[in-house]
Chains A and B, each alone.
Chain A
Amino acid sequence: MIGYVVRRLGQAVVVMVIVSIVVFGILHLLPGGLVRAQLGPRATALAVHDLTVQEGLNKPLVVQYGIWAWHALQGNLGFSYKLNQSVGSLLGEYLPRDLLLVGVSMLFAIAIAIPLGIWQGYRRNRVDDHVLSAVMLIFYSMPSFLLGVLLIVVFNLWTGLLPSTATNFGGSVGNDVQVLALPVLALCLGNVSYFSRYMRSATVDNLLSDHVRTAVAKGAAPRRLLARHVLRNSLSSTMTLIGLTLPYVLSGSLIIEALFNFPGMGLLFWNAAQARDFPVLLGVVLVVTVATVVGNLLADLGYAALDPRVRLK
């Protein structure tokens, strides 16, 4: 088990090295380059030359990557000239907010989707199942930004219940709850439909399985069947899906953050991309990579915890 986690983390390091090489390469192949991005189109050739040498940009790409990686290993992810702050401190500032947004929306999605899916599976092909399926299909087929806009229209413009921007996040707890409500909803409703659909079919499969028939033959009532013989078995397969969805939620939050002006990593990334703030871009990409790997690892560990047949080797 511990060996498994260690090995998986080892794989994660390899993945991160490869991702960083690819991203590093792409960023440096972009026309204009880092120097022009910093000095602007009107800078003199001399100034450009000076900065190029100073930044080590005249060295071969491989060497540049080596230098960046060496610094990164020491915890130095570079410095953002645009924001005049180290990348490390930027991430330290933006990442926790993101984790809160993504984490809360994932928790909500799971907490709603699992009971919903089990209920639908149990009531399969009846009226309530069909109605719920139809509603979920609407959420599923809607891109998150459209959902976000709709939520703003309903809860802000029409009823004025909730604020439409999250610019002032970080005030009091009460304020934060209000501010987060719409972005969290926009992020989680799509996933609710996704997860519950999956949970529904896992429940249906399990209800038809031999071991559930055995439980019925023992005299188990529906409540017992669902709680003891279906929930855990259906969860284990849904777990994988949830883990795999984590990076999508993280990247999906980019649009939601822009829409609600939420000061998270999505917004940071968006601004950095427009300003060609390469060190920040690289830093964010690395964080997303870590999230992907960690999400997968958590899914596998969760799966193993739920299903005793899975032995992690």
Chain B
Amino acid sequence: MSEAAKRVLEVEHLRTEFHLRAGTVAAVDDVSLTIDEGECVGLVGESGCGKSTTGLSIMRLLPAVGHITAGKVMLGGRDLVGLSEPQMRAVRGNDVAMIFQDPMTSLNPTTQIGVQVAEPLRIHFGTSRKAAMDRALEMLDLVGIPNPRERMRDYPHQLSGGLRQRVMIAMALTAEPKLLIADEPTTALDVTIQAQILDLLDRLRSELSMAVLLITHDMGVIAGRADRVIVMYAGKIVEAASTPELFGTTRHPYAQALLESVPQLTTSSTDRIPSIPGHPPDLANLSGGCRFAPRCRYAEPACIAAEPPLETLPDGHLVACIHPVGLAQAAGAGAAEQPPAVEVVLEQPESLPQAPVVDAAARRSELADAPLLVEIENLVKEFPIRRGLGIGGGAASLKAISGVSLTIRRGETFGLAGESGCGKTTLGRIVAAHEYPTSGTVRIEGDELLKLSRAELRRHRSDLQLMFQDPYASLDPRMRVGAIIREPLMVQGVGNRRQQWERVAELLNEIGLNRRAVDLYPHEFSGGQRQRIGMARALALSPRLIVADEPVSALDVSIQSQILNLMKRLQSDHGLTYMVISHDLAVLRYLSDTIGVMYLGKLVELGPSASVYANAAHPYTHGLIQAIPIPDPKIERAKRSAPVRGELPSAVNPPSGCRFRTRCPLAQEICAELDPPMQVFGEGHVAACHFPLQSPTDDAPPRGITVAAPAAVS
């Protein structure tokens, strides 16, 4: 950082308190940070660590119960904390702007986007309506909205999530603020779109030489974009360093554990991801000492005696820890690799089921001989859309799934990947018999799902269970956990009362929860625990197949790995078959034996996950994998630009030929004319592309897939 760089923001010893019924909670506790012109500072941590509250405190946008009780927020020579509300209004949107996580709800649904983008100018500079609208048009163009002139009069609901986030950015930057606070700007978006938005933010930052505070939970995003990183835990800064330093030599045990628990593309399905036991402390009842100590593998009695101060280490890291990771060995040569874990009498975190140790080769050969559990053939699902008078007129339909064939063997984990809107959730619902296909067949253990009678289907349902994304919305808040887990047993009439309760206790044990949980309500549990309860409910009837739709995407990374390990453990204990649907390819890489990639209703690539990840044949699969942010600054910065361009086309009028051609870097004329056939790229690995990234082989295709002869297209 050069001396010449102008300091834009200086936060000093900021403390923000929330006055809650449970008491006063310091959501942000003694946080100091600075950002220079053109610099991007990353603020990272798990939910509840105070990173968003820090952002909101700078903007003074705290909810009614929140107050800044100490510290300064210096911006342009003024302390924002001391400003009156009207003075602060002149700062917001003018000197500092903010973009929020959810572009779906953060725009006014009843106002045209042009008007919304123009609004800051109207507020701050009293610009004439016409001049402000002209500027809004320029801004929409600047953020890469196609045909901005026509889009000006659109309402937010007419735009995709990615475009809405671009509108948010345009709006935030209209008044050319000195500082932009981006609070999880890409968390709600697909990876492909995420890469585009982050590129856009980078470009605008250098063009407008803005200071950016990037708040995120995603270590990969931070690695690629931030100049400096600040890690927060339970309201406090635990470590701060330049990005290469922080990722290179992580000093704080929390930061280290957080990085380790991120599943990576290099994590294979036979590895185990470490998870951080327990959960963050309740800020209303802090026991003193280091806040991370109860979950820390290096904790010793000194850690709970006093809170460690934030100190600068010789290598420039700011760390709040008594024994920073890796420094022990630097001091005493030849010492143990890591400081010995000291047994501390702390509240023992609940025991978590660990992932089993699996031998890759053994599992492969075991699965190859396993019987087929699910056979899907030429599945089509279309949702009719009524238009105009609805009489005779348009017979338009949304083509959610257009001819998908695949098989899943018993005991296998099948991962289904793709952007939102590609039809993966619909496919999962059909397999779980919650939705009927328009045509095609689905066979479960040879029984055709569509031909079953109502009673047979009801019985079949106990074999097919769903696990949901949102652990908050998928458990009835008015039912006790015991009743939630017991319900499937009651519905299917399994056993008597006593046996059912015994089964509930057994299930709770399997998911690593205390028996006392039966009498508690869902809100008394953390997100990860709730997801485990959801898992227990899905398991209650000993199903053959569990369709897990985004099972961990609502959870923090350190909790994610708990669930992923639990899923693996249960699979090996009960011979479960999973169909895991996720937009997160790293999660799928860790869980799946086989992976299928969907694009706009079509399966574009299918194969053993090791083969698909290592040798992706379809440009879309390749792009998806490339788009995943890797928590390693070297890899992230080497990437040039967003690997997949543009947005998902409409599923009502999908492109002719290959559906991916409109976004494909390799597309040629033939792609528009001919729907590419499947070709083989290794054992059980197929992809549908005219210009594949690998050369076709003459291995056997997976069962149930028709392929073109390798020689036919070349």
* A232: B residues at CB distance < 8 A: 110-111
For the complex of A and B, 10 pairs with smallest distance between CB atoms: A219-B93, A218-B93, A3-B389, A210-B105, A219-B92, A308-B155, A211-B108, A210-B106, A309-B157, A217-B98
- The reply on A306 being an interface residue by CB < 8 A is yes
* B93: A residues at CB distance < 8 A: 217-220
A210 to B165, CA, bound (A): 13
The reply to whether A309 and B106 form a contact with Cβ atoms under 8 Å apart is no
- The reply on B352 being an interface residue by CB < 8 A is no
Interface centre among B59, B61, B111, B172 (most CB of A within 10 A): B111
The reply to whether B155 and A3 form a contact with Cβ atoms under 8 Å apart is no
- The reply on B390 being an interface residue by CB < 8 A is yes
* A216: B residues at CB distance < 8 A: 61, 92
Could you mark each residue 167-211 of chain B with 1 if its beta carbon is under 8 Å from any beta carbon of chain A, else 0?
010011000000000000000000000000000000000000000
Question: Which residues from chain A sit less than 8 Å from chain B, CB to CB?
Answer: 3, 6-7, 209-211, 213-221, 224, 228-229, 232-233, 236, 306-309, 313
The reply to whether A219 and B110 form a contact with Cβ atoms under 8 Å apart is no
- The reply on B703 being an interface residue by CB < 8 A is no
* A220: B residues at CB distance < 8 A: 89, 93, 119, 123
Partner of B119, one of A218, A236, A309: A218
* A218: B residues at CB distance < 8 A: 92-93, 97, 119-120, 123, 171
Q: How far is the CB of A196 from chain B (nearest CB, A)?
A: 21
Q: How far is the CB of B140 from chain A (nearest CB, A)?
A: 16
The reply to whether B110 and A214 form a contact with Cβ atoms under 8 Å apart is no
Known A217-B61, A219-B93; 6 more pairs at CB < 8 Å: A213-B106, A217-B98, A221-B123, A224-B123, A232-B111, A308-B155
> In the complex, what residue of chain A is closest to B90 when comparing beta carbons?
A219
The reply to whether B110 and A307 form a contact with Cβ atoms under 8 Å apart is yes
- The reply on B100 being an interface residue by CB < 8 A is yes
The reply to whether A233 and B108 form a contact with Cβ atoms under 8 Å apart is yes
A165 to B506, CA, bound (A): 76
A6 to B155, CA, bound (A): 26
A220 to B388, CA, bound (A): 39
| Contact A215/B97 with A3-B389, A220-B119, A221-B89 known, Cβ cut-off 8 Å | no
Q: How many contacting A-B pairs (Cβ < 8 A)?
A: 84
Residue count of chain B within 8 Å CB distance of chain A: 34
Could you mark each residue 85-126 of chain B with 1 if its beta carbon is under 8 Å from any beta carbon of chain A, else 0?
010011111100110101001111111000000011001100
Could you mark each residue 143-178 of chain B with 1 if its beta carbon is under 8 Å from any beta carbon of chain A, else 0?
000000000000101000000000010011000000
- The reply on B386 being an interface residue by CB < 8 A is yes
The reply to whether B108 and A214 form a contact with Cβ atoms under 8 Å apart is yes
* B107: A residues at CB distance < 8 A: 211, 214
Partner of A309, one of B59, B120, B155: B155
The reply to whether B100 and A210 form a contact with Cβ atoms under 8 Å apart is yes
> In the complex, what residue of chain A is closest to B89 when comparing beta carbons?
A219
The reply to whether B105 and A3 form a contact with Cβ atoms under 8 Å apart is no
Q: How far is the CB of A48 from chain B (nearest CB, A)?
A: 51
A213 to B93, CA, bound (A): 12
Q: How far is the CB of B100 from chain A (nearest CB, A)?
A: 6
Q: How far is the CB of B139 from chain A (nearest CB, A)?
A: 13
The reply to whether A229 and B108 form a contact with Cβ atoms under 8 Å apart is yes
A216 to B108, CA, bound (A): 12
The reply to whether B108 and A313 form a contact with Cβ atoms under 8 Å apart is no
* A217: B residues at CB distance < 8 A: 59, 61, 92-93, 97-98, 172
Q: How far is the CB of B355 from chain A (nearest CB, A)?
A: 38
> In the complex, what residue of chain A is closest to B386 when comparing beta carbons?
A313
A233 to B109, CA, bound (A): 8
A139 to B710, CA, bound (A): 81
> In the complex, what residue of chain A is closest to B393 when comparing beta carbons?
A3
The 28 listed contacts between A and B (C-beta, < 8 Å) are A3-B388, A3-B389, A7-B389, A210-B100, A210-B102, A210-B106, A211-B108, A215-B119, A216-B61, A217-B98, A218-B92, A218-B97, A218-B171, A219-B89, A219-B90, A219-B92, A219-B93, A219-B124, A220-B89, A228-B111, A228-B119, A229-B108, A229-B111, A232-B110, A236-B110, A307-B110, A308-B109, A308-B155
A225 to B61, CA, bound (A): 14
A307 to B155, CA, bound (A): 10
Q: How far is the CB of B397 from chain A (nearest CB, A)?
A: 15
* A6: B residues at CB distance < 8 A: 389
Q: How far is the CB of A230 from chain B (nearest CB, A)?
A: 10
Q: How far is the CB of A61 from chain B (nearest CB, A)?
A: 35
A307 to B156, CA, bound (A): 11
The reply to whether B120 and A211 form a contact with Cβ atoms under 8 Å apart is no
A224 to B116, CA, bound (A): 12
A216 to B111, CA, bound (A): 15
Q: How far is the CB of B479 from chain A (nearest CB, A)?
A: 26
Q: How far is the CB of B524 from chain A (nearest CB, A)?
A: 25
Q: How far is the CB of A199 from chain B (nearest CB, A)?
A: 16
> In the complex, what residue of chain A is closest to B94 when comparing beta carbons?
A219
A236 to B390, CA, bound (A): 25
* A309: B residues at CB distance < 8 A: 109, 155, 157
* A215: B residues at CB distance < 8 A: 108, 119
A209 to B105, CA, bound (A): 8
> In the complex, what residue of chain B is closest to A306 when comparing beta carbons?
B110
Partner of B106, one of A214, A233, A306: A214
* A211: B residues at CB distance < 8 A: 105-109
Q: Which residues of B, 204-233, contact A by the 8 Å Cβ criterion? A: none
> In the complex, what residue of chain A is closest to B168 when comparing beta carbons?
A214
The reply to whether A213 and B109 form a contact with Cβ atoms under 8 Å apart is no
A229 to B171, CA, bound (A): 15
Q: Which residues of B, 396-424, contact A by the 8 Å Cβ criterion? A: none
Q: How far is the CB of B258 from chain A (nearest CB, A)?
A: 27
* A236: B residues at CB distance < 8 A: 110
> In the complex, what residue of chain B is closest to A309 when comparing beta carbons?
B157
> In the complex, what residue of chain A is closest to B63 when comparing beta carbons?
A208
A214 to B91, CA, bound (A): 14
A228 to B109, CA, bound (A): 11
* B102: A residues at CB distance < 8 A: 210
A308 to B109, CA, bound (A): 7
* B389: A residues at CB distance < 8 A: 3, 6-7
A306 to B59, CA, bound (A): 31
* A3: B residues at CB distance < 8 A: 388-390
A309 to B94, CA, bound (A): 30
A215 to B102, CA, bound (A): 14
Q: How far is the CB of A312 from chain B (nearest CB, A)?
A: 11
A236 to B92, CA, bound (A): 29
A236 to B108, CA, bound (A): 13
> In the complex, what residue of chain B is closest to A125 when comparing beta carbons?
B64
Q: How far is the CB of A169 from chain B (nearest CB, A)?
A: 41
Q: How far is the CB of A236 from chain B (nearest CB, A)?
A: 7
A65 to B307, CA, bound (A): 87
* B119: A residues at CB distance < 8 A: 215, 218, 220, 228
* B171: A residues at CB distance < 8 A: 214, 218
* A229: B residues at CB distance < 8 A: 108, 111
The reply to whether A308 and B100 form a contact with Cβ atoms under 8 Å apart is no
Q: How far is the CB of B62 from chain A (nearest CB, A)?
A: 11
* A219: B residues at CB distance < 8 A: 89-94, 120, 123-124
Q: Which residues of B, 642-674, contact A by the 8 Å Cβ criterion? A: none
A218 to B93, CA, bound (A): 4
The reply to whether B157 and A308 form a contact with Cβ atoms under 8 Å apart is yes
Q: How far is the CB of A310 from chain B (nearest CB, A)?
A: 10
